[in-house]
């Protein structure tokens, strides 16, 4: 069920990469990288035999626009939005991130979701959205406000923006939130706050804290990822 890069036909569209199953295509995952990364950074992650996704799942790897990032001394790098502070809460939200940039990124992601849904005969529940770190933040931002029900939202080392207003369509979409217990960049406490708030909003959330893990993936992360995807196919 889980093969390697040879199971895919690899196509590029600008800076984005599409991993298209050579066999039957039944589901799609749209994935967003973290700050400073690109779609290329996840080519091996999803192309290796240890990939958490099945052979019949198309993978769409998006690349963020290049922009100045305040927390990195104004250096230009791929970023879904400007990060002005690592600690983000309801009080400092509009000062801590580039809200308009995040909104623009969400619109682009939702456009891709619509394109992929159309390729699966309009069945939106066969399309998943996920991401790591900043990409995880965008998963919640774009996914919870999307106007069609998705198969699932997959968030690694990310957090919920405090000002998101959910769309009714994804009130029942299940969410995986996973975070490294020793993450030095985005402390897992932010992940817990997201989990608590989503639970209060009656979302179905699986929350997994991975012991002895920093701001990255490990074998346990992949197992959790794979379990979530298989349970929602």
Alpha-carbon distances, residue 233 vs 2, 54, 63, 135 (angstroms): 14, 10, 26, 22
Query: Domains of the chain, with CATH numbers?
Result: 5-231 (3.40.50.1820)
* pLDDT of res. 30: 99
Question: Which region, left, alpha or beta, applies to residue 167 given φ > 0 means left and ψ of -120 to 50 means alpha?
Answer: beta
Task: Please state, in angstroms and as integers, the Cα–Cα distance from residue 102 to each residue in 62, 64, 97, 146, following that order.
Answer: 14, 11, 8, 14
Q: Is 74 helix (H, G, I), strand (E, B) or coil?
A: coil
DSSP assigned state of 65 = P
To the nearest 10 degrees (0 to 180), the angle between helices 99-119 and 134-144 is: 70
Residue 127 Cα to chain centre, angstroms: 12
Query: Is residue 171 a contact partner of residue 146, using CB atoms and an 8 Å limit?
Result: no
Contact 19, 50 (CB under 8 A): no
3-state secondary structure of 37: coil
Question: What pLDDT, on a 0 to 100 scale, did the predictor assign at position 47?
Answer: 86
Which tokens hold the place of 184?
């030095």
pLDDT at position 5 is 64
Structural tokens at position 124? 């939106």
Nearest residue to 170 via CA among 201, 142, 196, 145: 145
Q: Per the structure block, which two tokens stand in for 165? A: 């207003």
**Per-residue pLDDT of the chain in tens (233 residues, 90 and over written 9):** 444 567 899 999 999 999 999 999 999 999 999 999 999 999 999 988 789 999 999 999 999 999 999 999 999 999 999 988 777 766 777 788 889 999 999 999 999 999 999 999 999 999 999 999 999 999 999 999 999 999 999 999 999 988 777 888 998 999 999 999 999 888 788 778 888 888 888 789 999 999 999 999 999 999 999 999 999 99
Q: Which helix (H) or strand (E) holds 96?
A: helix 93-96
């Amino acid at each position: 069920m889980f093969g390697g890069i040879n199971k895919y036909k690899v196509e590029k569209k600008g800076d984005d990469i599409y991993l298209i199953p050579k066999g039957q295509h039944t589901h799609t995952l749209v994935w967003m990288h973290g700050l400073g990364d690109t779609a290329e950074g996840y080519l091996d992650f999803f192309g290796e035999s240890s990939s958490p996704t099945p052979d019949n799942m198309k993978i769409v790897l998006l690349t963020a626009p290049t922009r100045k990032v305040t927390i990195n001394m104004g250096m230009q790098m791929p970023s879904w939005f400007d990060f002005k502070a690592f600690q983000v809460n309801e009080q400092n939200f509009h000062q801590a991130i580039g809200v308009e940039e995040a909104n623009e990124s969400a619109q682009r992601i939702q456009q891709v979701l619509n394109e992929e849904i159309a390729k699966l005969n309009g069945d939106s529940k066969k399309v998943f959205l996920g991401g790591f770190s900043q990409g995880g933040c965008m998963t919640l931002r774009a996914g919870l406000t999307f106007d069609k029900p998705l198969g699932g939202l997959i968030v690694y080392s990310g957090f919920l923006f405090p000002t998101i207003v959910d769309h009714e369509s994804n009130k029942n979409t299940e969410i995986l939130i996973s975070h490294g217990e020793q993450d030095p960049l985005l402390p897992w406490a932010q992940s817990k706050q997201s989990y608590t708030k989503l639970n209060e909003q009656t979302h179905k959330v699986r929350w997994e804290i991975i012991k002895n893990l920093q701001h990255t993936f490990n074998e346990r992360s992949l197992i959790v990822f794979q379990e979530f995807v298989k349970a929602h196919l």
